[in-house]
Amino acid sequence: MQVILRRRVGLDTQDTDALPLLTYLLESGSNRVGALDFQTTSGHYEARTSDGTLTELVEAGDRLARGLPFSPELDEALTYSTAIGGARPKALLVDGDRQLIAKFSVSSDSFPWMQAEAVGMELARRCGVNAAPTRLTKAAGRDVLLVERFDRPGGGSRRHVLSALTLLGLNELAARHGTYVELAELVRLHFDASDPTLTELFRRIVVNVLVGNTDDHARNHAAFWDGTHLGLTPAFDVCPQPRATGEAAQAMAFGNKGERRARLAACISAAQIYELSERDASSIADECTVVVCDEYEDVCDSLGVSENTKALLWRRAVANDSVFYPLD
């Protein structure tokens, strides 16, 4: 939204209400997440796309974050590459048959966001979570995380994707009011293969707790929809959050009484919600704990994560002592 606001109103404008919602929908790119697009007429389709390179887009995103001007060519490239929203700079890229979301670090970052998310996503995969493929790289001297799009299966086709925010019938400002409990009930009632899906959802909660991803709000969960069937998309945005010491809480409650404390024991106590016995839930928690604790070093080394990032995350966001606290 800030990209379009800056383009239409001016460099110093911050109020996103200065433009109507329809303007944002019509001026953003056509390749947004899911299968929808917005056009000025139903009789003629005109795709809004970008030819910007990754390096150009990183540089443009950095200048945007610093409030600096950039060329009209980069302005158009950044505008049409950012149909996916979010608080941080992102762009949509095409690499042969693959379509990617590129997430950028910027010069003002005080936390290694891209390296942290690369670690979180790889740990999730190793813990058995169905997670979107990612790759950590660099462009223009900045960290870039490339995320393979699961809504573009190839051949020019698109898959409808509904966020948990939409599934739960929540306003866009109410993302943190959704709960895993409500999402689990939707899975039980409306999803295909509900039992394995509930197990997958529980495993994702456990992994979020272990890696310190407390930004697991309703926009960061989604489902495929073909008009009849619902199924969880691969996990995305599994990113350890900045944390020094102390206990944390998940963005969405996972227990019946509003429990959201980031403790494995609290997860296990909620097992019945996800159609699991406490024994099975404990087994999943133990399995994921072993992976996170034993493979953390290898994950960081294989991704090329800096020693500073490795030390910053370990026992702070990732495997913080508090996640192993017993229930009160």
Q: State the pLDDT at residue 35.
A: 62
Residues 6+ apart with CB under 8 A from 88: 103, 104, 106, 113
In whole angstroms, what is the distance from residue 232 CA to residue 172 CA? 20
The arrangement of secondary structure in 161-324, i.e. its CATH architecture, is Orthogonal Bundle (1.10)
User: Each residue of 208-237: pLDDT tens digit?
Assistant: 999 999 999 999 999 999 999 999 999 999
Q: State the pLDDT at residue 275.
A: 98
Tokens of 278: 């406490």
In whole angstroms, what is the distance from residue 313 CA to residue 242 CA? 8
Tokens of 90: 């992102």
Alpha helices in the chain (DSSP H): 2-8, 21-27, 54-66, 72-80, 113-126, 164-167, 180-190, 194-211, 264-269, 278-303, 307-313
* Residue bearing the bigger pLDDT, 321 or 105: 321
DSSP 3-state of 301: helix
- Categorize the per-residue pLDDT at 73 as very low, low, confident or very high, splitting at 50, 70 and 90: very low
Least confident of 6-15, 32-41, 183-192, 295-304: 6-15
Tokens of 316: 């702070």
DSSP assignment of 23-91 equals HHHHHS-S--SSS----S-SS----------HHHHHHHHHHHHHT----HHHHHHHHHT--S--SS-EE
pTM comes to: 0.84
Parse the chain into domains and list their residue ranges: 2-83, 161-324
Residues 6+ apart with CB under 8 A from 139: 54, 55, 58
